[in-house]
Chains A and B, each alone.
Chain A
Amino acid sequence: MSATVYPTDPNTRSDTIGARRTLVRESARRSLARRRLVGRIAVGSCVVAVAISLAPLIALVAYTTSRGIRAISWGFVTHIPTPPGIPGGGISSAIVGSVIIVGLAAVIAVPVGTMCALFLVERRGRLAGALRFGADVLTGVPSIALGIFAYAVLIGPGSLIGHFSGIAGSFALAVLMLPIIIRASEAAMRSVPRDLWEAGLALGVRRSRVVRSVVLRGALPGLVTGNLLAVARAVGETAPLLFTVLGASLLVTNPLQPMGALSLTIYSNANQPFPAAQQIAWGTAFVLLVLVLVLSIVARLVSARLNRQAR
Chain B
Amino acid sequence: MSTTLLEEVPPPRLTPVEGVKEGLQRRWARPGGRAYAVLRWSGATVFAVIVLGLVVSLLASASQAFGHSGLSFLWSGTYNATKDVYPTGIYIIGTLVTTAVAIIVAVPIGVGTAAFLSELAPTWLAAPLSVLIDLIAAVPSIVVGLWGLLVLSPAFAHHVEPFLKKIPVLEWFFHGLAYGPSMLLAGTVLAVMILPTIVALSRTALSSVATEDREAARALGATRWQVVRTAVIPSARTGIEAAVILAMGRALGETIAVALVIGNNNALPHSLLAPGATLGSAIINNFGEANPGLDKSSIIGLVVVLLAITALVNVGGQLLLRRRLRGQGAVT
Give residues in A with beta carbon < 8 Å to B: 32, 35-36, 38-40, 42-43, 45-50, 52-54, 56-61, 63-64, 111-120, 122, 127, 131, 133-146, 148-149, 152-153, 156-157, 175, 178, 182, 201-202, 204, 206-209, 211, 229, 232-233, 235-239, 242-243, 263, 266-267, 270-271, 278, 281-282, 285, 288-289, 292-293, 295-297, 300
Distance, CA A143 to CA B35, complexed state (A): 34
User: In the assembled complex, how far is the CB of residue B233 from the closest CB belonging to chain A, in whole angstroms?
Assistant: 11
- Residue from the list B54, B143, B307 in contact with A175, Cβ < 8 A: B54
User: B residues within 8 A CB of A156?
Assistant: 61, 292, 296
The 7 tightest CB contacts between A and B, nearest first, are: A115-B43, A236-B140, A142-B253, A49-B112, A140-B314, A39-B225, A208-B36
Question: Assuming A236-B140, A237-B141, what are 9 further A-B pairs, CB within 8 angstroms?
Answer: A42-B229, A54-B133, A115-B44, A119-B43, A142-B254, A144-B256, A145-B54, A152-B300, A270-B260
Closest CB in chain A relative to B54 CB, distance in Å: 5
Q: Is B249's CB under 8 angstroms from A116's CB?
A: no
Give the docked Cα–Cα distance between A37 and B195 (Å). 28
Residues of A within 8 A of B284 (CB): 144, 239, 242
**Contact of A115 with B42 at beta-carbon distance under 8 Å, contacts A149-B58, A292-B138 already known:** yes
Q: Is B127 an interface residue (CB 8 A)?
A: no
Residues of B within 8 A of A119 (CB): 40-41, 43-44
**Given A144-B255, A156-B61, A243-B288, CB of A53 within 8 Å of CB of B195:** yes
Whole-angstrom CA separation of A206 from B34 in the bound complex = 10
Cβ contact of B287, chosen from A112, A148, A211, cutoff 8 A: A148
| A236 adjacent to B141 (CB under 8 Å) | yes
Q: Are A46 and B113 in contact, CB atoms less than 8 angstroms apart?
A: yes
Q: Are A296 and B318 in contact (CB under 8 A)?
A: no
A243 and B296 CA atoms in complex are apart in Å by 12
A178 to B53, alpha carbons, bound, how many Å?
A: 14
* With A142-B255, A145-B307 as contacts: A297 and B135 at CB distance below 8 Å: yes
Distance between Cα atoms of A45 and B116 in the complex (Å): 9
B residues less than 8 Å from A148 (CB atoms): 58, 61, 283, 287, 300, 303
Tell whether A118 pairs with B43 under 8 Å between CB atoms, given A141-B307, A281-B146. yes
What A residues does B313 contact at CB under 8 A?
140
What CA separation (Å) do A211 and B35 show in the bound complex?
Answer: 13
| Residue B263, interface by CB 8 Å | no
Determine if B216 is an interface residue (Cβ-Cβ < 8 Å): no
Question: Which of chain A's residues have a CB closer than 8 A to the CB of B150?
Answer: 270, 278, 281-282
How many Å lie between the Cα of A237 and that of B253 in the bound state? 13
Q: Is B104 on the interface with A (CB-CB < 8 A)?
A: no
In the complex, identify which listed stretch (B3-11, B19-27, B67-75, B76-84) lies at the interface while the others stay far away.
B19-27
**Is B167 engaged at the interface, CB distance under 8 Å to the other chain?**
no
When A178-B47, A208-B35, A271-B260 are in contact, do A56 and B314 touch as well, CB less than 8 Å? no
Q: Which of B27, B42, B229, B317 touches A207 (beta carbons < 8 Å)?
A: B27
User: Of all chain A residues, which has the CB nearest B248?
Assistant: A140
Using Cβ atoms and an 8 Å threshold, which residues of chain B touch A35? 222-223, 225-226
List chain B residues, Cβ under 8 A from A153: 53, 57
In the complex, residue of chain A having the shortest beta-carbon distance to the beta carbon of B198: A53
Q: Roughly how many angstroms separate A48 CA and B112 CA in the complex, as a whole number?
A: 9
Bound form: Cα–Cα A136–B245 in Å: 14
Closest to A202 in B: B20
List, in ascending order, chain A residues with CB within 8 A of B58's CB.
Answer: 145, 148-149, 152
A196 CB to closest chain B CB (Å) equals 16
Q: Quick check: A143 and B253 within 8 Å, CB to CB?
A: yes
Q: List 6 A-B contacts (CB under 8 A).
A: A49-B108, A116-B43, A120-B44, A144-B255, A270-B260, A289-B143
Interface size class of B (residues with CB under 8 A): 35 or more
Q: When the two chains form their complex, are residues B280 and A144 in contact, meaning their CB atoms are under 8 A apart? A: yes
Instruction: Report whether B249 and A140 are in contact in the complex, using a CB–CB cutoff of 8 Å.
Output: yes
Q: Would you give the 0/1 interface string for B10-38, flagging 1 where the beta carbon is closer than 8 Å to chain A?
A: 00000000001001100110101101100
Complex interface: chain B residues within 8 A of A271 (CB):
149, 260
Which among B60, B108, B307 has the highest number of chain A CB atoms within 10 Å? B307
Which B-chain residue is minimally distant from A117 (CB atoms)? B43
* Complex contacts, B44 vs chain A, CB 8 Å: 115-116, 119-120, 127, 131
Shortest Cβ distance from A40 into chain B, in angstroms?
Answer: 8
B246 surroundings in chain A (CB, below 8 A): 140
B contact residues around A114 at 8 Å (CB): 43
Tell whether, in the assembled complex, residue B129 and residue A137 are in contact, meaning their CB atoms are under 8 Å apart.
no
B192 within 8 A of A: yes
Known contacts A142-B255, A270-B145; A53 and B199 CB within 8 A of each other: yes
The CA of A127 and the CA of B48, in the complex, are separated in Å by 10
In the complex, A288→B147 CA distance in Å? 14
Query: Cβ of A50 and Cβ of B255 under 8 Å apart?
Result: no
> Are B116 and A146 in contact, CB atoms less than 8 angstroms apart?
no
User: CB distance A142 to B280 under 8 Å?
Assistant: yes
Interface residue ranges of B275-332 to A (CB < 8 Å): 280, 283-284, 287-288, 292, 296, 300, 303, 306-307, 310-311, 313-315, 317-318
Residues of A within 8 A of B223 (CB): 32, 35-36, 38-39
Are A182's CB and B47's CB within 8 A? Answer: yes
Q: A-facing mask of B151-171, CB < 8 A → 1, else 0? A: 100000000000000000000
The reply to whether B112 and A46 form a contact with Cβ atoms under 8 Å apart is: yes
With A145-B303, A288-B143 as given contacts, are A54 and B40 in contact (CB-CB < 8 Å)? no
CB contact between B136 and one of A61, A137, A235 (< 8 Å): that residue: A61
